[in-house]
Amino acid sequence: MGVHVLVPLIFSFSLLLQRGLCEGVTKKQELALLPPRGWNSYDSFDWVINEADFLQNAEIVSKSLLSHGYEYVVVDYLWYRRRVKNAGPDSEGLDVIDEWGRLIPDPQRWHSSRGGKGFKEVAKKVHDLGLKFGIHVMRGISVQAYNANTPILDPIKGGAFEKSGRIWRARDIGMTDRRCKWMQHGFMSINTDSAAGRAFLRSLYQQYAEWGVDFVKNDCVFGDDLDIKEIRTVSEVLKELDRPIVYSLSPGTIVTPDMAKQVHALVNMYRITGDDWDKWEDVRYHFNIARDVAAANLIGAEGLNGKSWPDMDMLPLGWLTDPGMSRGPHRKCNLNPAEKRTQITLWSMAKSPLMYGGDLRKIDEATLKLITNPTILEIDHFSQNNTEISDIISRKDIGSSNHVSSHSRSLKDENSPGKHVLTLTSCMDHEAKGWVIGTNDKELGQICWKNGLESEDQSPFCLDKREPLLTSHEESIQYQGKFHLLGMNTMELCLETSTNRKLTSSDLEISSLVPCKKNTNQIWELNHNGTLVNSYSGLCAKKERQKAIVNDAEARAWIAIGRKGKIYVALFNLCTEEAMIYAKIKDLADALGLGFSSCVGTEIWSGQDIKPTEQLLSVAVGRHDCALLVLTCN
């Protein structure tokens, strides 16, 4: 698999050749012509990965996954942070920087970086394995460089950047009012309107190219953190560099097709959701945005020096860690087999990049089979006209006497009173103001929602608050003013969020209340203006009536055309009952603008034959499961 247009070595050679021959008319290697695939360290190592763990995973990618098109191995965030006692994702002053304020790998964790070598040796080993090397970087400049007020390197002339008769420094470009909101002590935006700010960014990316980096995941610049000027500047720098580098944006909380349209041509992939973890609600959350970007023709649209792909995030399968806990892999994935199938089927029908997140040293046989399933990989790379078609299917619970509903939209709960949800929104959203300190007879104190919009007869919605259990002085500084929120009447369970999910409040869903841990997605802080911010996502909680869930149909379907004229139909059952899902052959044909009237084929997860069908296709699909039909139609 993996269509390598030109390998890098040949590339630089041909570039020279072409330069000579055609006087500057160069043909660059085209990037991301297919949705990129690979492995990323975040879901299994949070930030604490070291060189040995990384290279061991890379070797397994090379041995077992490369032949299936998985070619990038990516070190996720904070590779420059010293792993000392109590170091966490938002610690201040623990990063390793060079004299120009650029981050360099922590030499304790990345031994080969010593002596100013950065990631050169790691990249070389990765290249020798036949793979490509990626790193994660944050927005702008580190707080550490800002505080040290390091001079800026002039990446063109070398030496310190001088303009108007003076040397420019970190404090001339850092914007303290534009810190990354979920890493306030880590990073801030820089002023890209100043030549010094642009020089700083160029000095970073030039260094990554010198290290041999092939892929950059740029975090805290997209979605709710959008910094379009930085994205544009980095994209321009990458365009001018000789080394082809895939440019990926993260995270994708509150991304809309409109926002995607602003960036797709500047990058090669961009997240369309917040972080995805191994929870059913997280899997389910991807359906609407995937449908919307497909409908907006953003899948495989023009990108930086090639194409661009809406990215549904890594696959948190196999052997994992927990978000924000600063520890390595220690537990199995919580999705059941049906939910895993649904996840990878949706990812492939929407042609998402596939980045495996589990520790490959402990991958189980079933997971390996799933992520190397040839049909899934074929669809993900080579299908066309991918689109959601939920409006033309219908479903019926198996065992219920309901008639087949005319379509799948579920209106259940729509107007039921008292159904409220906590949702996460930007802290700048005025509707998120409404949290106050409540009083109760316990000493703990409460946080209550009272924004004046509630009706009189409703009792206020409150959560008990408790200081996180701290073990050291450093932690008490880091967590000052922050707290856990406990579900009422449960001393043991804390409100937790990954950025994707809605938290049902009046009847707090059991899945949102989990055993209390010192995990940043369980840590909250009340701002003076009455917003309640979550430390992991930097987003604020607001309480609202659950919207009519017309977009939340219980059955979903996607369709696509294969390379050899095969028709792929994926039927997803998002509800908790097994169901029959039906689609008329004519409606499928119409959805693709084709004229077929009869189909035959196979359901790939069960291996069962789909007998020749002329009118109504009907398939039984289990709870949270999906059917993936490969059909020949005429």
Ligand X SMILES: *[C@@H]1O[C@H](CO)[C@@H](O)[C@H](O)[C@H]1NC(C)=O
> Measured from the CB of residue 291, what is the shortest distance to ligand X in angstroms?
15
Closest approach of Cβ 25 to ligand X, in Å?
28
HEC string for 458-516: CCCEEEEEECCCCCCHHHHHHCCCEEEEECCCCCCEEECCCCCCCEECCCCCHHHEEEC
Tell me whether residue 26 or residue 384 sits nearer to ligand X (CB atom). 384
CB-nearer residue toward ligand X: 382 or 518: 382
Residue closer to ligand X (CB basis): 397 or 525: 525
**Residue 291 or residue 396: which is nearer to ligand X going by CB?**
291
CB 37 within 8 A of CB 354: yes
Nearer to ligand X, 52 or 437 (CB): 437
Question: Minimum distance from CB of 535 to ligand X (Å)?
Answer: 13
CB of 298 to ligand X, least distance (A): 13
Distance CA 86, CA 92 (A): 11
CA 386, CA 531: separation in Å to the nearest integer? Answer: 40
Name which of 552, 551, 554 is nearest 623 in CA terms.
Answer: 554
Rounded to the nearest whole angstrom, what is the least distance from the CB of residue 467 to ligand X in the complex? Answer: 20
Burial category of 502 from C-beta neighbours within 10 Å (exposed 0-12, middle 13-18, buried 19 and up): middle
Find the shortest distance in angstroms from Cβ 433 to ligand X. Answer: 5
Beta strand spans in 336-445 (E): 354-356, 384-388, 393-397, 420-425, 435-438
Q: Using CA atoms, how far apart are residues 287 and 290, in angstroms rounded to an integer?
A: 5
Q: Which two tokens stand for residue 219?
A: 């975090």
Give the separation between CA 261 and CA 258, rounded to whole angstroms: 5
- Measured from the CB atom, the residue of 334 and 634 that comes closer to ligand X is 634
- Binding residues vs ligand X (CB under 6 A): 384-385, 427-428, 430, 433, 527, 529, 531, 592-593
Yes or no: say if 264 and 303 are a contact pair by the CB < 8 Å rule: yes
DSSP 63: I
In the bound state with ligand X, the residue whose beta carbon lies nearer, of 87 and 589, is: 589
Supply φ then ψ for residue 626, to 5 degrees: -145, 160
Q: Nearest to residue 525, comparing CAs of 492, 475, 478?
A: 478
Smallest separation (angstroms) from ligand X to the CB of 159:
39
CA dist., res. 207 & res. 443, Å (int): 54
- Which residue's CB atom is positioned nearest to ligand X? 593
Q: Which is nearer to ligand X, 384 or 458 (CB)?
A: 384
For ligand X, give the closer residue by CB, 369 or 528.
Answer: 528
Q: What's the residue count for the chain?
A: 634
Minimum CB distance to ligand X, residue 157 (Å): 39
In the complex, minimum distance from the CB of residue 527 to ligand X, in angstroms, rounded to a whole number: 4
**247 conformational bin, left if phi > 0, alpha if psi -120 to 50, beta if neither:** beta
CA distances from residue 249 to 125, 143, 214, 536 in whole angstroms, order as listed: 25, 21, 14, 18
Map tokens 């610690």 to a residue. 91
Distance of closest approach, residue 532 Cβ to ligand X, in angstroms: 10
For residues 289 and 559, which CB has a smaller minimum distance to ligand X in the complex? 559
